[in-house]
């Protein structure tokens, strides 16, 4: 019987690294272990880049940012299990005290939860797909952008604002929520559009179909903006640059470590 293959990634702090080392020691005799290079260096082990890990799932020790960085490194994301190291994240499901018991259970088999991502084409070049959101924001503080948004070729909105957030359902509880967007069940196939500080009282968030094609056009020559994907990848855009967003071909994948308690999680984390 082929042993289960587990990858390990970690936030770069002493507590997370210590937990990663403990879990690796505990499971090394029952699983084939792969460790990201930075973590491996701390533990004196051989490292494997995340994008080259041929594993059944990856254990991510840290917060939502650690998970997002991990997913960004994979062309076709492997399932991720998040171990929560004291953050208020929505992608991390397991507390450190439950890590061993949870992974023990996963050795017997597990289900995978697939989440839609957003792909962005900028000047025809593909940016890493977004698990949470694509943010279009001003590159100059206190300088508003003027932009038009089209959905499936039809004008949706023209705004002057500090920016716009294009979030997946999964990302509706992240930056989009902080900007006043709705909380959306992560299993809905939808894209959430949330204006950031719009100069227009009638500007409101939109929830559109997940298979929509979104085009963004900056209207003022000479003004620059930033496109930021999941807080991980950043690119500069200006008037005339083609920005197109659509559903990514490959989803993000998460290990189902417990029953689907999304509503309970929202109430527990947002009190």
3-state secondary structure of 231: coil
Please give the order of strands across the beta sheet that includes 125-126. Answer: 125-126, 118-122, 243-247, 214-218, 145-151, 154-161
- Taking alpha carbons only, the member of 164, 162, 168 closest to residue 133 is 168
Q: Give the separation between CA 250 and CA 140, rounded to whole angstroms.
A: 34
Which residues sit opposite 79 in a β-bridge? Answer: none
Q: Give the separation between CA 39 and CA 110, rounded to whole angstroms.
A: 25
Which residues sit opposite 227 in a β-bridge? Answer: 136, 235
C-alpha count within 13 angstroms, C-beta hemisphere, residue 79: 16
Is 64 noted as a catalytic residue in this protein? yes
Rg of the chain on CA atoms, in Å: 20
Residue from 54, 56, 64, 189 carrying the catalytic annotation: 64
Q: Are 137 and 226 in contact (CB under 8 A)?
A: yes
- Taking alpha carbons only, the member of 91, 39, 93 closest to residue 64 is 91
Q: Give the separation between CA 113 and CA 66, rounded to whole angstroms.
A: 18
Q: In what helix (H) or strand (E) does residue 112 lie, and over which residues does it extend?
A: strand 112-115
Q: Give the separation between CA 24 and CA 34, rounded to whole angstroms.
A: 9
Residues designated as active site:
64
């Amino acid at each position: 019987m082929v042993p289960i293959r587990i990858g390990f990634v970690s936030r770069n702090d002493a507590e997370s690294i210590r937990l990663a080392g403990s879990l690796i020691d505990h499971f090394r005799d029952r699983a084939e272990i792969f460790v990201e290079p930075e973590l491996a260096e701390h533990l004196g082990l051989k490292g494997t880049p995340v994008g080259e890990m041929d594993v059944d799932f990856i254990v991510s020790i840290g917060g939502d940012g650690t998970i997002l960085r991990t997913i960004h490194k994979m062309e076709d994301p492997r399932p991720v299990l998040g171990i929560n190291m004291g953050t208020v994240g929505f992608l991390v499901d397991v507390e450190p005290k439950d890590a061993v018991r949870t992974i023990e259970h996963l050795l017997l088999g597990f289900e995978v939860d697939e989440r839609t991502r957003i792909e962005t084409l900028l000047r025809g070049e593909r940016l890493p797909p977004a698990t949470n959101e694509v943010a279009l924001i001003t590159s100059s503080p206190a300088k508003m952008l003027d932009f038009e948004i089209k959905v499936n070729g039809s004008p949706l909105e023209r705004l002057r604002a500090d920016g716009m957030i294009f979030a997946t359902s999964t990302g509706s509880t992240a930056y989009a929520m902080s900007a006043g967007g709705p909380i959306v069940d992560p299993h809905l196939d939808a894209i959430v559009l949330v204006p950031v500080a719009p100069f227009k009282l009638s500007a409101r968030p939109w929830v559109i179909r997940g298979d929509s094609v979104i085009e963004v056009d900056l209207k003022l020559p000479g003004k620059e903006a930033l496109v930021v994907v999941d807080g991980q990848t950043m690119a500069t855009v200006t008037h005339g640059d083609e920005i197109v967003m659509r559903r990514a071909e490959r989803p993000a994948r998460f290990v189902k470590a417990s029953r689907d308690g999304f509503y309970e999680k929202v109430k527990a984390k947002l009190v």
